[in-house]
Amino acid sequence: MDTALPYLTQDLPGIGGQIKYTPADFFVEEIPLYPPSGEGQHVYITLEKTNLPTLKVINMVARALHVQRRAVGYAGLKDAHAVTRQTLSVDGTTEEAARALDIPGVKILQVSRHRNKLKPGHALGNRFVIRVRGVTEEALPVAEAIVAELRAKGVPNYFGEQRFGHRQNSQWLGKALVQNDLEVFLREMLGNPHPSEALPAQKARALFDAGDLQAALDAFPSFLRDERGVLRQLVRTGDPQRAVRALDKRLKRLFVSAYQSYLFNILLAQRLTHFHRLEKGDVAWLHRNGACFLVDDVLSAQPRADAFEISPAGPLFGGKYLRAEGEPGAREAALLAQEGVSAKEFDVPGVNLGGGRRPYRIPLTDAELWWDDGVMVSFSLPPGAYATMVLREIMKTETPHS
SS3 for 315? strand
Q: What is the pLDDT along the chain (402 residues), one digit of tens a residue?
A: 344 799 999 999 999 999 989 999 999 999 999 999 999 999 999 999 999 999 999 999 999 999 999 999 999 989 889 999 999 999 999 999 999 999 999 999 999 999 999 998 899 999 999 999 999 999 999 999 999 999 999 999 999 888 898 899 999 999 999 999 999 999 999 999 999 899 999 999 999 999 999 999 999 999 999 999 999 999 999 999 999 999 989 899 999 999 999 999 999 999 999 999 999 999 999 999 999 999 999 999 999 999 999 999 999 999 889 999 999 999 999 999 999 999 999 999 888 888 999 999 999 999 999 999 999 999 999 988 889 999 999 999 865 443
- The topology under which CATH files domain 34-120 is Pseudouridine synthase (3.30.2350)
Contacts of 21 (CB under 8 A, 6+ apart): 131, 133
pTM equals 0.89
Q: What is the DSSP letter of 282?
A: P
For residue 1, the model assigns a pLDDT of 39
End-to-end CA distance of the chain: 10
Where in the chain are all domains bearing CATH 3.30.2350.20? 34-120, 256-362
C-alpha distance from residue 164 to each of 4, 180, 183, 193, 256 (Å): 15, 19, 20, 16, 10
The CATH code of domain 170-250 reads: 1.10.1510.30
**Do 20 and 402 meet the contact criterion of CB atoms below 8 Å apart?**
yes
Q: Write down the pLDDT at residue 402.
A: 38
Identify the pLDDT of residue 398.
Answer: 63
The C-alpha angle 390, 396, 401, rounded to 5 degrees, equals 65
How many C-beta neighbours within 10 Å does residue 196 have? 10
d(C-alpha 302, C-alpha 153), whole Å:
13
Q: Please write down the long-range contacts of 99-105, taking CB distance under 8 Å and 24 or more positions apart.
A: 101/45, 101/61, 101/64, 101/65, 102/64, 103/57, 103/60, 103/61, 103/64, 105/49, 105/50, 105/51, 105/52
Looking at 11, 79, 91, 102, which residue is catalytic? 79
Q: How far apart are CA 51 and CA 195, in angstroms?
A: 24
Helix (H) / strand (E) element for 107: namely: strand 106-114
> What dihedral do alpha carbons 281, 254, 164, 236 form, nearest 10°?
-140
Neighbouring CB atoms inside 10 A of 289's CB total: 6
Q: Give the H or E element holding residue 387.
A: helix 387-395
The residues that bridge with 44 in the sheet, in sequence order, are 89, 112
Task: Give whole-number Cα distances, 62 to 96, 111, 122, in Å.
Answer: 15, 15, 20
Is 11 one of the catalytic residues?
no
Q: What is the Cα–Cα distance from 343 to 347, expressed in whole angstroms? A: 8
User: How confident is the model at residue 2, as a pLDDT?
Assistant: 45
Please compute, for residue 218, the number of CA atoms within 13 A of its CA located in the half-sphere on the CB side.
5
Q: What is the dihedral of CA 260, 261, 266, 269, to 10 degrees?
A: 150
Angstrom distance (rounded) from CA 17 to CA 135: 5
Closest residue by Cα to residue 390 from 400, 267, 398: 400
Measured CA to CA, the distance from residue 360 to residue 313 in angstroms comes to 5
Rounded Cα distance between 351 and 256, Å, is: 8
Topology annotation, domain 256-362: Pseudouridine synthase (3.30.2350)
Instruction: Return the pLDDT at 92.
Output: 95
